[in-house]
Amino acid sequence: MTASEQKIRRFTGMKPLLERFMKDFSFQIASSESERQQVYRLRYDVYCEELQGIDPVDPERRLEYDIFDRDALHCLIYHRRTGLAAACTRLVMPQENAPAPLDKLPLQSYAGSSLYPSGLHPERLGKNSYYEISRLAIALQFRLRLKGNEVPGVTDNPYFFTIEEKEIFSLLVSGLFLTGYALGCLTGKNFAFAMMEPRLKRLLAISGFHFTQVGETINLHGQRSAYCITREQAEAGMEHNLLPLYRHIQEVLSPQLETLQDKDEYRQHFL
């Protein structure tokens, strides 16, 4: 079988899964305070309770946020049938006139000394050309690989998901990155940075997103390194199978972003 025939077979097998994923999940820019609190609560559940890697600033309300969140673009992925916030991510876009540390990427604050002195160092790029995708989180119930034996309220998963529903949960990782990448493109950025563990880097590489390592591996709640991918790299490497999902996400988020850009708050922080 030729490489071209293999790609066609993969696309044929992925197409119905992607169609179900787009039907079962919705994509929403978290522009209201209540939506942002859903983001912060999901992050609290994952980063503070499950992984115990971050000390929350608001444990009483079970919210995890930091100084970069006020000016970040947040996005939620909802599971339509249950209404659950299944996953979230954020884009941090530093501005020239912002006070420290908001004039830099979050990874520069805690891993700046690990960055290589290369042409992909943020300080060697135009301030308005790059952003960081960070705080990716997927709710536990969408990561449990149970074999149809959930008992709501008894097992770790309080919701019942069918086998067909669970088949597409693995697409949430690609969906999260595509969400961040789509927003980055819609805001005119050319360089996406991320602090990742090796496993996430490998998962994204399977989808065709081949990041360049731009920093030494450090111990940050586990072994992590700074990576960067250019728009050209992402578009050239993206698996053809994922193009329908990427275009769908762009089509859904574009009008939401335009509405947000009309608001004075957005203009104050991003323009």
What global pTM score does this model have?
0.88
Contacts of 155 (CB under 8 A, 6+ apart): 146, 149
- The answer to whether 209 and 177 have CB atoms below 8 angstroms apart is yes
**What integer pLDDT is reported at residue 97 of this predicted model?**
87
**What integer pLDDT is reported at residue 8 of this predicted model?**
38
Kindly give the pairing relationship between strand 130-138 and strand 218-219: unpaired
Expressed as residue numbers, the domain containing 7 is: 3-270
The residue written with tokens 């135009």 in the block is 126
Question: Structurally, how many domains does the chain consist of?
Answer: 1
CATH at 24 = 3.40.630.30
- The answer to whether 30 and 76 have CB atoms below 8 angstroms apart is yes
Tens digit of pLDDT at every position of the chain (271 positions): 554 444 434 545 788 999 999 999 999 999 999 999 999 999 999 999 998 888 889 999 999 999 999 999 999 999 999 999 999 999 999 988 899 999 999 999 999 999 999 999 999 999 999 999 999 999 999 986 544 444 333 345 557 899 999 999 999 999 999 999 999 999 999 999 999 999 999 999 988 999 999 999 999 888 999 999 999 999 999 988 899 999 999 999 999 999 998 875 554 555 4
**Which tens digits make up the pLDDT trace of 118-151?**
999 999 999 999 999 999 999 999 986 544 444 3
Helix axis angle for 243-261 and 3-24, nearest 10°, is: 40
**What integer pLDDT is reported at residue 270 of this predicted model?**
53
How many DSSP H helices and E strands does the chain contain?
A: 9, 8
